[in-house]
Amino acid sequence: MTTPVRPYAGTPVRDLLEVDALTVHFTRRTGLFGSHREIVQAVNGVTLAVGRQETLGLVGESGCGKTTLARAVLRLVDKTSGTARFDGQDLFALAPAELRRMRRRLQIVFQDPYASLNPRMTIGAAIREGLTIHKLAEGAAADRRVRELLEEVGLSADAAHGYPHEFSGGQRQRAGIARALAVEPELLVCDEPVSALDVSVQAQVLNLLMDLQARRGLSYLFISHDLAVVRHVAPRVAVMYLGRIVEEGPAEALYARPRHPYTQALLSAVPVPDPVTQRPRIVLPGDPPSPVNPPPGCPFHPRCQHSAKDQTCMSVRPELEERAPGLRAACHKG
Amino acid sequence: MSGPDATPGGPLLEIADLRVTFATGDGVARAVDGVDLVVEAGETVGLVGESGCGKSVTALAVLRLVEHPGHIAHGSRVRFEGRDLLALADRDIRAVRGNHLALIFQEPATALNPVLTIGSQIAEVIRTHQHGSRAEAKRRALEMLRAVGIPDAERRADGYAHQLSGGMRQRVLIAIALACRPHLVIADEPTTALDVTIQAEILELLDGLQRQMGMAVLLITHNLGLVAERTRRVYVMYAGQIVEEAGTEALFAAPLHPYTQGLMAAVPRLDQLRERLAAIPGQVPPATAWPGGCRFHPRCPFAFDRCNAEMPPLLPSGDGRKARCWLVEDEAYRGTGVPAHRDQQGEGGGAP
């Protein structure tokens, strides 16, 4: 008999990452000499959770706030309001020393591995840095650990002596992953990790991420604009538009029958590599509105193609509501 | 030198044995190495491949825009509307570019002039090629801005590129490309920098304009979905060469070249949930050091002795398709995409 063990009855098992009503606004100076100030509402009341050994896919187009959300979770930008907890601890209440310790458990993989690899540092030195900072290994033990990590991500141990520019994009991304893994994190925030890679290499890196998850029990917050990639890696998906989650739920249900008109349009816009079965397409008019000046009511209403769109959509902002088991959407008409 | 339209009935664009080399610190890069490609009037043809395969250099070579240290080799031929573009004087090639033959680039952010108004950039193209009056060019520029769906065209025409979103800039580039009603548009990753909903909008627009104007499009992309959706015929490029040529439906129903097969198996898809993606092992070799024999053989699951020793030509498969693979001679492979059992010295046998 193997039933999951719970601490004691009545206490739910906590998710590893819990984001609750998180809001991040920036002040941006514009105009000549920065005389004019405007507030960018990058993230607006986002609530989401990533369970242990789970992958949550976060999908959205450029400017929707997905990267700002990730940066706030990693405490790389300040929040305006709301909370984010990691393993029950409030990330925004951590003292500097606690934050450093926390960063070991929470790592990021960027789209461009150049962002995490110093061009003047060998791959080996870059991986070793984390081991040293967090006092995980030193001397010969650290060298051995670097070699093991390189092999774990499918690079040869010799790669330790090379510089980032000597490697292809796919190899650099593997090195970036090895660097993140060096400190034995529990959660990896993957921000467009395969977007810069060619199709054939992208598949290698996606397979690697999935293997690592199975082997190490990692949790992923997987951010991407590519719905097909997200479908492949994430059993649960959240869709973001103009700073808000507009739909969230099990990937299978969400992809089979999206409830929010934005998710519907997004899915219909993805070209399918099959010339025989082409699907009807919902073409959205115009560009997404600016997060400086989000529209009143439903943030999607100016581009929404729903036939029942009415006055309510333009004046009242819809909340996320359950539409199917585990699937929530923020639409008055969905 | 023959005049324009000297060969009615010939293809609109015919590229034959195109070779482009770049002198680099690591030796000579053979970026495009013997490409043959045909586009007929009015049709949409795909040229698909991964970065570094030579697809963009092919486009630049057609328009003679390859810059130093790049060099189009002697013996390369590019015929457009019966004229040999590679033999034209500089002044004459300028008259072709942007007129009957236009290019849409990937980067809407850098392709527009930041200090000229949108309207004047379109009008300039029209005046360069069609010698109308200033007022006439301005009127046509506004007409084009409306045709590509720019709202409030009069006001936008007096604005600058930085005032536009990425999607709007790409519309302006399309307006410029189509201003002289070209017979062929080469679109090099026209939507790669754009979000997927904007991409859909731009492609619908391009489709509509193509139907109206009857132009041909050579769509260069890495995106198999776009190829499936938008083209009738496809060329697949790998390591500077065309490795497969087929009708789009036939290609997707049963890709013939092992590289095309690998590419299709590697793409995550919305319409199929795959447990594990079939990644192609290794990576594309650098253009300064293409492998000997078949250039794909180090990554190919089916490679045998001959692949290492001898470069295959584009072999016809008998149904109008061609692939640069010795296995095309294998009847069982042609039928199933899996080679027949071969002994260790196998020469792609498999004939009964």
Q: What number of C-beta contacts closer than 8 Å exist between A and B?
A: 125
pLDDT at A144: 96
Residue B334 · residue B258 · CB < 8 Å: no
pLDDT digits (tens, 9 = 90+) for B115-170: 999 999 999 889 888 878 889 999 999 988 988 888 888 888 999 988 888 888 88
- Of residues B234 and A277, more confidence is placed in B234
Q: Do B279 and A200 touch (CB under 8 A)?
A: yes
Average pLDDT across chain B, whole number:
88
pLDDT at res. B148: 87
Least confident piece of the model among A91-95, B3-7, B94-98 = B3-7
> Which among B197, B229, B263 has CB closest to A266?
B197
Indicate the pairing of strand B13-24 with strand B27-39: antiparallel
Return the residue of B nearest to A229 by Cα. Answer: B268
Contacts by residues A33-39 (CB-CB < 8 Å, ≥ 24 positions apart): A38/A292, A39/A292
**Residues B99/B129, Cβ–Cβ less than 8 Å:** yes
Alpha helices by DSSP H, B11-152: 55-62, 90-96, 118-130, 134-147
Give B225's contacts in chain A (Cβ within 8 Å): 270-273
pLDDT tens, N- to C-terminus, chain A (334 residues): 444 444 444 455 689 999 999 999 998 887 777 778 889 999 999 999 999 999 999 999 888 999 999 999 999 999 999 999 999 999 999 999 999 999 999 999 988 777 778 889 999 999 999 999 999 999 999 999 999 999 999 999 999 999 999 888 889 999 999 999 999 999 999 999 998 888 888 999 999 999 999 999 999 999 999 999 999 999 999 999 999 999 999 999 999 999 999 999 999 999 889 988 878 888 888 778 888 889 999 999 999 999 999 999 999 999 999 999 999 999 998 6
Test A273 with B269 for CB contact under 8 angstroms: yes
Per-residue pLDDT at A6: 43
Assign B341 a pLDDT band (cuts: 50, 70, 90): low
Grouping H, G, I as helix, E, B as strand and the rest as coil, residue A244 is: strand
What ipTM score was computed for the predicted complex, to two decimals? 0.84
Cβ–Cβ of A232/B167 closer than 8 Å?
no
**Residue B318, CA distances (Å) to B333, B334, B350 in order:** 13, 9, 16
Q: What is the pLDDT of residue B108?
A: 61
Provide the pLDDT for residue B5.
45
Does the distance separating the beta carbons of A62 and B267 come in below 8 Å? no
Closest CA of chain B from A60, distance in Å: 9
Using the predicted structure, report yes or no on whether residue B9 has a pLDDT greater than 80.
no
Chain B residue at shortest CA distance from A267: B270
Nearest to B277 among A232, A276, A284 (CB): A232
Task: Decide if A232 and B268 are in contact by the 8 Å CB cutoff.
Answer: yes
In degrees, rounded to 5, the angle at the alpha carbon of residue A242 between the alpha carbons of residues A238 and A244 is 45
What is the rounded CA–CA span in Å between residue B255 and residue B208?
A: 29
pLDDT computed for residue B51 by the predictor: 86
B159's tokens: 């604005």
Output the pLDDT for position B351: 35
The set of long-range contacts for A158-161, using a CB threshold of 8 Å and a minimum separation of 24, is A159/A123, A159/A124, A160/A122, A160/A123, A160/A124, A160/A127, A161/A122, A161/A123, A161/A124
Confidence band (pLDDT; 50, 70, 90) for B282? confident
A155, A156, A167, A199, best to mutate vs chain B, most B CBs in 10 Å? A199
Residue B347, pLDDT score: 41
Q: What is the pLDDT of residue A150?
A: 95
Q: Which band of pLDDT confidence, cut at 50, 70 and 90, is reported for residue B342?
A: low
Cis before B69? omega within 30: yes
Assess contact for A221 and A189: CB atoms under 8 A.
yes
Rg of chain B taking only CA atoms, in angstroms: 22
The answer on pLDDT for B6 being more than 50 is no
Nearest to A270 among B50, B270, B283 (CB): B270
d(CA A273, nearest CA chain B) in Å: 4
Beta strands in chain A (DSSP E): 17-30, 36-50, 55-59, 81-86, 89-90, 106-109, 187-191, 219-224, 236-241, 244-250, 321-324, 327-329
Q: What is the dihedral of CA B217, B218, B224, B226, to 10 degrees?
A: -20
The per-residue pLDDT for B199 is 86
- Residue A30 has what pLDDT? 75
Chain-chain contact of A281 with B263 (C-beta, under 8 angstroms): no
Predicted confidence at residue B197, as pLDDT, reads 85
Check residue A289 and give its pLDDT.
84
In the predicted model, is pLDDT for residue B200 greater than 90? Answer: no
pLDDT band with cut points at 50, 70 and 90 for residue B1:
very low
What's the pLDDT at A13? 67
Q: Are A240 and B234 in contact (CB under 8 A)?
A: no
- Write out the H or E segment, with its range, that includes residue B333: helix B331-336
pTM equals 0.88
